[in-house]
Amino acid sequence: MGFLSFIGRVAFSAIFILAAWQKIQGFGQNGGAALDALNPKFELFRKNVNEMFNVNFSLPQNVETKHLLMAAIVLEGVGGLLFILGSSLGAYLLLIFLAAVTPIIHDFYNYDLASPDYLHQFNSFLKNLSLFGALLFFLGMRNSAIRQMMRKKQPVKAKTL
């Protein structure tokens, strides 16, 4: 059972690790294609948040979207590697990554329902949502297994004759 669990974690993490590696390979000096895709979507997300909540949401002066992309790559890559090892920290890093990136990158709510892009973005959003759910399931099962082990390891009272 332990080996199958390890293979499952490797298969699950492959999506994150390979995507992070691809972003690192194309990053270069200017952030590459990933930053080109992120910039307009982040600006649209920022605009939507500002309008919806009537706030002035912007990045701090020294922070650029390139820095956000680097942080996302670290969360994605390190989280995936730690998840392979069965670490809860890896699952939490991947949860943070998915929660932050999914509504920005897969912005189906900005497309017309008849648009083919709407369907693509909505499907990608749902796929990320299912990955988020799988990570929550992993953490829930891990926590319940730890609680069961703690109950079993309670000292047994010595029987008196």
15/18 Cα distance (integer angstroms): 6
Say how far apart CA 29 and CA 31 lie, in whole Å.
Answer: 6
In angstroms, the Cα distances linking 149 to 36, 93, 154, 156 are 48, 25, 9, 14
Q: Both tokens of residue 24? A: 């690192």
pLDDT in tens, 92-115: 999 999 999 999 999 999 999 999
- Predicted TM-score of the model (pTM): 0.86
Residues 117-137: tens digit of each pLDDT = 999 999 999 999 999 999 999
Reference 76, options 91, 97, 95; nearest CA is 97
Q: How far apart are CA 38 and CA 94, in angstroms?
A: 18
Asked whether residue 142 carries a pLDDT value surpassing 90, the answer given is: no
* pLDDT higher than 80, residue 154: no
